[in-house]
Amino acid sequence: MVGGGQGAFIGGVHRIAARLDGAFALVAGALSSTPEKSRASGAELGLDPARCYADFRAMAQREARRKDGVEAVAIVTPNHMHAGPAIEFLKRGIHVICDKPLTATMAEAKKLARVAAESKALFILTHNYTGYPMVRQARAMVARGDLGRIRLVQVEYVQDWLTEAVEATGSKQAEWRTDPARSGAGGALGDIGTHAYNLAAFVAGMEPQALAADLASFVPGRQLDDNAHVMLRYADGAKGTLWASQVAPGNENGLRLRIYGDKGGLDWGQEDPNRLWFTPFGQPRQLLTRNGAGALPENNRVSRVPAGHPEGYLEAFATIYSEAAQAIRAHQAGQALPAGVHFPTLADGLAGMRFVEACVQSARRNAAWVTL
Amino acid sequence: MVGGGQGAFIGGVHRIAARLDGAFALVAGALSSTPEKSRASGAELGLDPARCYADFRAMAQREARRKDGVEAVAIVTPNHMHAGPAIEFLKRGIHVICDKPLTATMAEAKKLARVAAESKALFILTHNYTGYPMVRQARAMVARGDLGRIRLVQVEYVQDWLTEAVEATGSKQAEWRTDPARSGAGGALGDIGTHAYNLAAFVAGMEPQALAADLASFVPGRQLDDNAHVMLRYADGAKGTLWASQVAPGNENGLRLRIYGDKGGLDWGQEDPNRLWFTPFGQPRQLLTRNGAGALPENNRVSRVPAGHPEGYLEAFATIYSEAAQAIRAHQAGQALPAGVHFPTLADGLAGMRFVEACVQSARRNAAWVTL
Amino acid sequence: MVGGGQGAFIGGVHRIAARLDGAFALVAGALSSTPEKSRASGAELGLDPARCYADFRAMAQREARRKDGVEAVAIVTPNHMHAGPAIEFLKRGIHVICDKPLTATMAEAKKLARVAAESKALFILTHNYTGYPMVRQARAMVARGDLGRIRLVQVEYVQDWLTEAVEATGSKQAEWRTDPARSGAGGALGDIGTHAYNLAAFVAGMEPQALAADLASFVPGRQLDDNAHVMLRYADGAKGTLWASQVAPGNENGLRLRIYGDKGGLDWGQEDPNRLWFTPFGQPRQLLTRNGAGALPENNRVSRVPAGHPEGYLEAFATIYSEAAQAIRAHQAGQALPAGVHFPTLADGLAGMRFVEACVQSARRNAAWVTL
Amino acid sequence: MVGGGQGAFIGGVHRIAARLDGAFALVAGALSSTPEKSRASGAELGLDPARCYADFRAMAQREARRKDGVEAVAIVTPNHMHAGPAIEFLKRGIHVICDKPLTATMAEAKKLARVAAESKALFILTHNYTGYPMVRQARAMVARGDLGRIRLVQVEYVQDWLTEAVEATGSKQAEWRTDPARSGAGGALGDIGTHAYNLAAFVAGMEPQALAADLASFVPGRQLDDNAHVMLRYADGAKGTLWASQVAPGNENGLRLRIYGDKGGLDWGQEDPNRLWFTPFGQPRQLLTRNGAGALPENNRVSRVPAGHPEGYLEAFATIYSEAAQAIRAHQAGQALPAGVHFPTLADGLAGMRFVEACVQSARRNAAWVTL
């Protein structure tokens, strides 16, 4: 693991996710920016001190040389520190599991894409919301035509933790997320907007062709957007909106997707993830559940416990890891990806970067339409 | 009553609303477009045949001459038939209670406004959602600063009844609502977008300064919009979106308003109208109820039954009528409007017309910003 | 109207309900216990002073003699004042619409039943929850076998307004409801338990054969039960529970009914009355709505506005009045009750009285089973 | 691990729970009833074949002798196979983590209790619902008096999977759960009723003194109860009900607890476990969230991810394991249990057994009161 030392949030999530289904064991890390902290963090996690590295380059080099070196590395640093380590490991044929957004800048993203294209290793992006069973169900239902032709894609990801200037009062999480140098051009856009964008594309099975964005930084002094209103247009005439906000009091992680076609609709929210509304036009609304009545194989495949026992964020995240493991095993064996396995790739990461870039461009031009 | 004969929907609603609190009695009408139908409809409602008029002009003239002539008239015709009757009655000093939107065209709206300005009678527009007790509570909470400075206004009104081309298969309601000659330039915009716009303005206590709209007519052959995505900008930097759709399967009358300030948020939905979420930043979310714990006087004033006994659409509509009656009584007595009484006026109607007009203009210019 | 003077709650509800559908007009009353108050209350309601009576006997006598005397009377007094007026009016052939529970004592109930049996007039009991469209839908679904054979009936009516001893601190509503002399043997049992009991019987289409009840008076000094736990057994082996409480903080009017058979279940709650869950075994849960997709004729018949526009407590109450009016018209015309018309009768009232009596008996015998 | 071989459900849950927080590694097992199956199951899980035992006795003996023998064993067999293995391991000083209910019979339970009392090892019962953060919050709120004096405890656990006779059509899970020889005297009572009972006691901080139970076996031919209605009485006058059902269509794992005191109430449901309603009397209802605004330290302590990212069943289960690990570590070090650590013990298991026994006794005596 690169990053995820003491005080970090997402590193711990990755570690639980990696271990939940038993497919990965943590054996080495460059966990922090200083050798001391890295060692201390490693010790806390029970790592062999010899495999607690002072930086990602040392880790990539030495692990690549070890017979029992890591097969895959998780990169859980702030955005501007994704490309560097990813490239080092990919070059050495070590599979990379990387947090989103792909990078802080499009230039880095493209460089990383070039390296990945030449690498024998896989690159997996943890757009973890695609791991939810009901999201898999939704995608399958759209794909098989349950909604008819898609007309509307309404997605929002709404939080409140940046309502006040917590970046100025000691929140490490807020500091780097509101810092263009570490996060890139998008604030809420990059942090949560890319998740919303990816989720919508994953379920709808299509990406918008153009967008118009109005960005705001409501908190005085904040350099990046903390609210984004985006209108979307798709190639076939479908339309949508994406709303990302980190300044809406009362919202914790309100990621919600509604999709409507000429035959029916779907409605899913991350805070109650084991349920999915299916609303066939002219018929009673149906509440589908994880592993429950009406569940499709795509839903059951990634469920662990019976219907009514809630699975959550960590399980969805673990599904990304489990499927990464399956993909890596298949890759190592020279086999095709097992049926049903899905994981977000570098292409998803690039799409997210283009989304952020397009929103920023549009916003600078007074919300003019920008082609994706 | 003008309009509201057999087969009409909103006329029946107005009649129940008018009678619910006992403030009005129906005594005369020009209920339909033909004398026979008008008479038949009047007979069904128990009207004196002598006061069942063949058209609104006859009604205005004769009722104005009667000693016991109507004090007020309800106009419940399609949009293009609002201005004509309203002007006839206002000219004769008869108070007008008119369905929304104000008119079909801005030209009519302005003409009506001029007549109203010179009339001694009141003009009341039935933006009925402002009659809900929790909407009154929300407005009061914003006004007294519970949310701090408003940053975001997110409003949507989502239906599904025009998902298919029902205007082509015999739905009278759909026919005129999708017909520019009878509805004006707005489809979903005029029918439900104006309600959403009015509700947001009523609660937020402010109207946007500019908007950018992307309209769609998803159903082949439909002449007016059946879906509208609108971005909003307010004078002080607040932003918002308005979404109106009549093609989103599974949505019946999904009018929902969320407002966020730098201190807290509010969330209200028309389909569960007796509840209002109040989310002060950093504190547990509160679920306020009609006439219940935490209710402000503005909420209790317009409540009829104890908390937990739901009041609904007709009660909210009746509140508009009751307050119209109070206003008329005060007006007749030369007194000021009683404290707390609120009803939507011609100014609200004009604002709604400007909203529709601006959306249509913006959409024609590829969703460019249009100043309101 | 008998009762319902200034300061009363349920009288106002009856008046709105009576007028909502336009079937009744209030023309006379014995509204209060003293002539002065009765007159003052009548004046407030615009009644002819000559028809504001000092007491119900005077009213019954004189109205019966008038050519334009009342056709029906609403009795909205405390429980111990139901039988007296009801008998006076029934004897004179004036239809009676009476609030529940039927009476304060079983002796009164039986006497009233004898008079009613001999009267040419109808007796209608306002078990108003049976007027909700989704309750009608539920009853129809059970009757046609959608749930299969019924196994479980779980009903509860939960409030919190008697959590503290408000009867000792000036609440008129609480005073008489906690007073055995005015309410009878049941506290929460009579006030809300009878509603729950009636609702369950109405929907299930059957009444229990035996019950075992554990009653409590949690508030010190309270003479009647404020909480009742009741187990139910039906003739065919079905079982159930009924819980009535007025001391459960956070509950306003939490009347909820769940019924399960060997093929499916239903779940309905009064605070969100326009929705009904239908859960066919092994299939996705369905959310049925008032007047919406999947609505049966029994649901549509008593709906006034389109799906998604909530109807509430007053509308359901008004349906009892409207159907009473239809029944009275048919009765006067010597015709059969129109198809679909339903209203609670004296038999329902007697069933409620037996329920209260049986609960009290059971509780005295340490929750032994008592046959109904 | 004892039990949990191929085809079992709860074994897999225990394995994920044990590994989720990284405190346990699975190294040995007697996973199935035959040596072959045990080996096959072990191989699937990557166990050393030498540590895949044919039966629990062999496992206990040999692991106790190994230097690197297991420190703790998870027992995940059907109820009648709990006591045997537990005793074997406890005798050898190996800590036992055992699924509930404690045993199939009270005799076994008492025997096990005697052995445990003499063992140096710990016994942990996986009443996993006590691991939910909001359940910890609820318990803490009751303990510190937020609800005042408790009056009512309403708990239910409702499922539908035994609505039909699936035990006769090949469901292994249903077979043993409806078989007295393997499950003991309780059907739904033992399987889910004990969970409901334990949850209520955990949160309320008290157990009932007496109960009256009405049991049913609705499915023809079923030998054990599939529905239980239980009334509860507490020492200080509080009352409650417990409803356990496996035949209520539309319910997956509907475990819900409501507790009311003279100052406020709480309402929690397992299917939406990250939320807890707190309803202080006379104030707006509050919706508390896991790790969110208003969270107490008891809630935060057992939370892993930020508010709004749902944690579920596996996380709550993992908390039991994590706290078992902490308890074992402290025990090994001769230290007191760390502050805040809680896990269900043999005493909880005995209480559950008494509950089942008392219900069965009461039911046989026509729901007479039985003292606990």
Rounded to the nearest 10 degrees, the angle between the axes of helix C10-20 and helix B10-20 is 150
CA distance B265 to chain A (A): 5
Using CB atoms, which chains have 3+ pairs under 8 A with C? A, B, D
**Residue D336, number of CB atoms within 10 A of its CB:** 9
- Please say whether the beta carbons of B42 and B49 come within 8 A: yes
String of b and e for C230-242 (b: at least 16 CB within 10 Å)? bbbbbeeebbbbb
In-domain check, residue C372 = no
**Both structure tokens of A207:** 């990406």
Residue D278 · residue D203 · CB < 8 Å? no
Contact B278, B141 (CB under 8 A): yes
Judged by a CB distance cut-off of 8 A, whether residue C303 touches chain B is: no
Same-domain status, D212 and D300: yes
The residue of chain B with its CA nearest to that of C293 is B250
Residues C70 and C166 in one domain: no
Q: For chain C, give percent helix, strand, coil, nearest 5.
A: 40, 20, 40
Chain C residues with CB-CB distance to D263 below 8 A = 249
Give the one of C271, C292, C314 whose C-beta lies nearest to B252's C-beta: C292
Peptide bond into A101 cis (omega under 30): yes
Other chains touching D, judged by 3 or more CB pairs under 8 Å: A, B, C
Interface check for B239 against chain A (CB to CB < 8 A): the answer is yes
Percent of chain A whose pLDDT exceeds 90? 96
Q: Cβ of B170 under 8 Å from any chain D Cβ?
A: no
Asked if residue D372 is part of any domain, the answer here is no
What is the Cα–Cα distance from A21 to A322, expressed in whole angstroms? 7
- Separation in Å, CA of D293 to nearest CA in chain B: 5
Domain span at residue C242 reads 133-305+346-364
Tell whether B40 and B117 lie within a shared domain.
Answer: yes
CB-based contact (8 Å) between A286 and chain C? yes
Q: Are residues A100 and A233 in the same domain?
A: no
Pair (B110, B137) in one structural domain = no
- For B328, B336, C141, the CA distances from B333, given in Å and listed in that order, are 8, 9, 55
The conformation of residue D342, written as its DSSP 8-state character, comes to: -
- Three-class secondary structure of residue D257 per DSSP: strand
Residue A7 has pLDDT above 90, yes or no: no
Q: Which pLDDT belongs to residue A78?
A: 94
Whether chain C has a CB inside 8 Å of the CB on D247: the answer is yes
Which pLDDT tens digit goes with each residue over B298-334?
A: 999 999 999 999 999 999 999 999 999 999 999 999 9
CB contact (8 A) between residue B308 and residue C253: yes
Q: Is residue A337 part of a domain?
A: no
In a mutagenesis test of the C interface, which of D247, D285, D362 is the best target, namely the one with the most C β-carbons within 10 Å? D247
What is the C-alpha to C-alpha distance for residues B274 and B289, in angstroms, rounded to an integer? Answer: 6
Rounded-to-integer distance, Cα A24 and Cα D343, Å = 28
C-alpha to C-alpha distances, A150 to A212, B228, D11, nearest whole angstrom: 20, 16, 42
Band (B160; pLDDT cuts 50, 70, 90)? very high
pLDDT tens digits, one per residue of D9-18: 899 999 999 9
Task: Kindly state the tokens that stand for D201.
Answer: 């006691």
pLDDT mean over D305-318: 98
Quick check: B279 contacting A, CB < 8 Å? yes
C-alpha A222, offset from chain centre: 24
On the question of pLDDT at B208 being above 90, the answer is yes
| Residue A99 clears pLDDT 90, i.e. is over it | yes
Which of A165, A247, D340 has the alpha carbon at shortest distance from B262?
Answer: A247
The pLDDT tens digits for D151-168 are 999 999 999 999 999 999
Average pLDDT, rounded, for chain A = 96
Is C3 inside any structural domain? no
Q: Which residue in chain D is spatially nearest to B282 when comparing CA positions?
A: D293
Task: With respect to residue D1, please indicate whether it lies within any of the assigned structural domains.
Answer: no
What part of D 205-224 touches A (C-beta under 8 Å)? Answer: none
Q: Are A272 and A161 in the same domain?
A: yes
Q: In this predicted structure, what is the pLDDT of residue C216?
A: 98
Asked if residue D106 and residue D172 are part of one domain, the reply reads no
Q: Are D276 and D137 in contact (CB under 8 A)?
A: yes
* Residue A344: pLDDT band with limits 50, 70, 90: very high
Sign of the dihedral defined by the CA atoms of residues D137, D138, D142, D143, in that order? negative
pLDDT tens digits, residue range C123-138?
999 999 999 999 999 9
Model confidence pLDDT, tens digit, residues A294-343: 999 999 999 999 999 999 999 999 999 999 999 999 999 999 999 999 99
pLDDT at D295 (0 to 100) = 98
**How many CB pairs below 8 A link B and D?**
34
Residues in D touching B292 (Cβ below 8 Å):
284
Look at residues D121, D142, D172 and tell me which one is the last residue of a structural domain.
D121
**For residues B147-163, b (16+ Cβ closer than 10 Å) or e, as one string?**
bbebbbbbbbbbbbbbb
Cα–Cα distance between D364 and C198 in angstroms, integer? Answer: 30
In the predicted structure, residue B261 carries a pLDDT above the cut 90: yes
Residue B295 and residue B199 share a domain: yes
**Contact yes or no for A155/A195 (Cβ under 8 A):** no
What pLDDT score does D262 carry? 98
> Cβ atoms within 10 A of the Cβ of C280, count?
17
As a whole number of angstroms, the distance between CA B317 and CA B301 comes to 15
User: Do D179 and D62 have their domain in common?
Assistant: no
Contact, D321 vs D17, CB < 8 A?
Answer: yes
* Of residues A27, A59, A52, the one with CA closest to residue A37: A52
D101 upstream amide cis, omega within 30 of 0 = yes
Chain D closest-CA separation from residue A87 CA (Å): 29
CB contact under 8 A, A294 and C284: yes
Say yes or no to pLDDT of C161 above 80: yes
Question: Cβ of D231 and C154 within 8 Å?
Answer: no
- C134, C252, C270: best mutation site toward chain B, by most B Cβ within 10 Å? C252
A141 chain-C contacts, CB cut-off 8 A: none
**pLDDT tens, D32-67?**
988 899 999 999 999 999 999 999 999 999 999 999
pLDDT > 90? residue A177? yes
Q: Is D265 on the interface with C (CB under 8 A)?
A: yes
Among C58, C91, C121, the domain boundary falls at C121
Q: Within an 8 Å CB–CB cutoff, is residue B274 touching chain C?
A: yes
B108: CATH: 3.40.50.720
B287 close to D (CB below 8 A): yes
B8 falls in which pLDDT band (50, 70, 90)? confident
By CA distance, what is D9's nearest residue in A? A305
Q: Residue C210's closest CA among C193, C186, C232?
A: C232
- By the CB < 8 Å criterion, does B254 face chain C? yes
CATH code: domain of residue B288 = 3.30.360.10
Among residues 313-342 of chain C, which lie with CB inside 8 Å of chain B?
Answer: 313-315
* Residue contact B164–A262, C-beta within 8 A: yes
State pLDDT tens for residues C215-255.
999 999 999 999 999 999 999 999 999 999 999 999 999 99
Specify whether C97 is located in the same domain as C65: yes
Distances (CA, A) of B116 to A329, B3, B95, B111, B324: 78, 20, 10, 9, 16
Instruction: Nearest by CB to A293, from C284, C292, C294: name it.
Output: C284
What are the φ/ψ torsions at residue C102 (nearest 5 degrees)? -50, -50
Contact at CB, D163 and C251, closer than 8 angstroms = no
Which among C278, C282, C294 has the least Cβ separation from residue A283?
C294
| Residues C225 and C360 placed together within one structural domain of the fold | yes
Q: Which of D278, D279, D287, D291 to mutate to test the interface with B (most CBs of B within 10 A)?
A: D287
Distance from CA of D347 to the nearest CA of A (A): 26
B:C CB pairs within 8 Å? 98
| Chain A residues within an 8 Å CB radius of C287 | 284-287
For residue C6, what pLDDT is reported?
A: 84
Nearest CA in chain A to D306: A252
**Is the Cβ pair A285, C278 closer than 8 Å?**
no
Q: What is the pLDDT of residue D293?
A: 93
Which residue of B155, B246, B247 to mutate against A (max A Cβ within 10 Å)? B247
Give the C-alpha distances (Å, rounded to integers) separating D68 from B68, C312, D57, D58, D199. Answer: 102, 68, 18, 16, 36
DSSP state letter for A214: E
D146 at C interface, C-beta within 8 A:
no
Cβ distance A211 to A265 under 8 Å? no
Q: How far apart are the first and last CA of chain D?
A: 33
Query: CA B176, B181, B182, B188 torsion: positive or negative?
Result: positive
pLDDT at A6: 84
CB nearest to D307's CB, from A15, A252, A274: A252
Note whether A296 and A221 are same-domain residues: yes
Strand order in the sheet with C72-75: C72-75, C95-98, C123-125
pLDDT tens track for C56-78: 999 999 999 999 999 999 999 99
Cβ neighbours of C287 in B, within 8 Å: none
Residues in chain A within 8 Å Cβ distance of D314? 20, 304-305, 311, 314-315
A8: confidence class by pLDDT, cuts 50, 70, 90: confident
Residue B87, amino acid: I
Interface test with C, best of A134, A279, A285, A290 (most C CBs within 10 A): A285
| Distance between CA atoms of residues A94 and A84, nearest Å | 14
To the nearest whole number, what is the mean pLDDT of chain D?
96
Confidence band for B221, pLDDT divided at 50, 70 and 90: very high
Is A198 inside any structural domain? yes
Whether residues B305 and C289 touch (CB distance < 8 A) is answered with no
Query: Residue A2, SS3?
Result: strand
Return the structure tokens found at B160: 């599904």
Q: Which of C20, C253, C272 sits opposite B309 (nearest CB)?
A: C253
| DSSP string of C167-232, one letter each residue | GGTT-HHHHHHT-HHHH-S-SHIIIIIHHHHHHHHHHHT---SEEEEEEE--STT--S-SEEEEEE
**CB-CB contact of A186 with A274 (8 Å):** no
Q: Which residues have a Cβ under 8 Å from the Cβ of D18 and sit 6 or more positions away?
A: D24, D26, D74, D318, D321
Q: Do C293 and A282 touch (CB under 8 A)?
A: yes
Query: Pairing mode, if any, of strands A95-98 and A123-125?
Result: parallel
A280 touches chain B (CB under 8 A): yes
pLDDT of the residue at B319: 98
Q: Which of residues 39-58 of A touch C (CB under 8 A)?
A: none
Asked whether residue D59 is assigned to any structural domain, the reply reads yes
Of residues C282, C286, C289, nearest to A286 (C-beta): C286
* Stretch (H or E) spanning D80: none
Tokens linked to A142: 């759209």
Q: For chain A, what is the domain count?
A: 2
The answer to whether residue B370 sits within a structural domain is: no
**Final residue of a structural domain among B87, B121, B155:** B121
Q: Are A271 and D270 inside 8 Å of each other by CB?
A: no
pLDDT tens digits, residue range D265-284?
Answer: 999 999 999 999 999 999 99
Q: For residue B242, is pLDDT > 80?
A: yes
**pLDDT at position B324:** 97
